[in-house]
Chains A and B, each alone.
Chain A
Amino acid sequence: NAGVTQTPKFQVLKTGQSMTLQCAQDMNHEYMSWYRQDPGMGLRLIHYSVGAGITDQGEVPNGYNVSRSTTEDFPLRLLSAAPSQTSVYFCASSYGRYYTEAFFGQGTRLTVV
């Protein structure tokens, strides 16, 4: 029972490089989301999806793209990395009802130099 799987766990990028953080879940959850965690800021929502083919912006979407072609996968793309995107990134999934908890991946620690 894998749950939510994020890859990679660690990544160092140079300013201007692009990369994709991968997220996959095997619980058939409708709802998936990406958060970033910065010291003293808690978790802030970047993008989310309520189902395959449907995505929307969260609180801090600038500099990130997402797509949801399947129920299982929800990749997060950084098109041109900036030092301000140095953070820990979490992917989460849930059944998408307000009374259901979210399950989180292990996180990706990204450093942009």
Chain B
Amino acid sequence: AQKITQTQPGMFVQEKEAVTLDCTYDTSDPSYGLFWYKQPSSGEMIFLIYQGSYDQQNATEGRYSLNFQKARKSANLVISASQLGDSAMYFCAMREPQGGSEKLVFGKGTKLTVNP
């Protein structure tokens, strides 16, 4: 079974609008971390935002926020006021303690295109 599911292969948004990228996860561990990474066309992996399983509030980093719904096991990324430079692949990832191995598992990604 997939640990991380991103159901939107591609998304389009108009510049200056907000967009939500979906991510659902599967774990039975009470302790885990959820991460979003951005991969522009140049190929590097850029860390955007983190949400811990015990965090009471949704994480925010500038224009990025994470809509964390623990009971639904979802961790959607919200980008406000989209910019052309936001066009990229976006990956959701999860990390569980797993007896010390703490592997980082990725979803298949969503390609976001911001239109002018």
Mark A residues whose CB is within 8 Å of B.
31, 33, 35, 40-45, 48, 50, 56, 58, 88, 90, 92, 94, 96-104, 106-107, 109
Contact A98 B96 (CB under 8 A): yes
Q: Please tell me if B17 contacts chain A, counting CB pairs below 8 Å.
A: no
Given contacts A42-B106, A42-B109, A92-B104, 18 further A-B contacts (CB under 8 A): A40-B9, A42-B107, A43-B45, A43-B93, A45-B103, A45-B105, A48-B101, A50-B101, A50-B102, A88-B43, A94-B104, A96-B102, A98-B32, A98-B97, A99-B95, A102-B47, A104-B45, A109-B43
Q: Known contacts A98-B31, A107-B43: does B108 contact A41 (CB below 8 Å)? A: yes
In terms of DSSP, what is the predominant structure of the interface of chain A?
A: strand
Contact among B9, B37, B102 with A97 in the assembled complex (CB-CB below 8 Å):
B102
B29-56 interface code vs A (CB 8 A; 1 in, 0 out): 0011101010000011101001010000
Q: Please tell me if B68 contacts chain A, counting CB pairs below 8 Å.
A: no
**CB nearest to B100 among chain A residues:** A50
Residue among A44, A96, A101 with the highest chain B CB neighbour number at 10 A: A101
Please tell me the number of chain B residues within 8 Å of chain A, measured between CB atoms.
Answer: 27
Q: Please tell me if B91 contacts chain A, counting CB pairs below 8 Å.
A: yes
Residues of chain B in range 57-116 having any CB-CB distance to chain A below 8 Å = 91, 93, 95-97, 100-109
- Sampled A-B contacts (9; CB under 8 Å): A33-B104, A42-B109, A45-B105, A88-B43, A90-B45, A96-B102, A98-B31, A98-B102, A102-B35
**CB nearest to B107 among chain A residues:** A42
Contact A107 B44 (CB under 8 A): yes
**CB nearest to B43 among chain A residues:** A107
Q: Known contacts A40-B108, A98-B33, A98-B96: does B103 contact A103 (CB below 8 Å)? A: no
**CB nearest to B97 among chain A residues:** A98
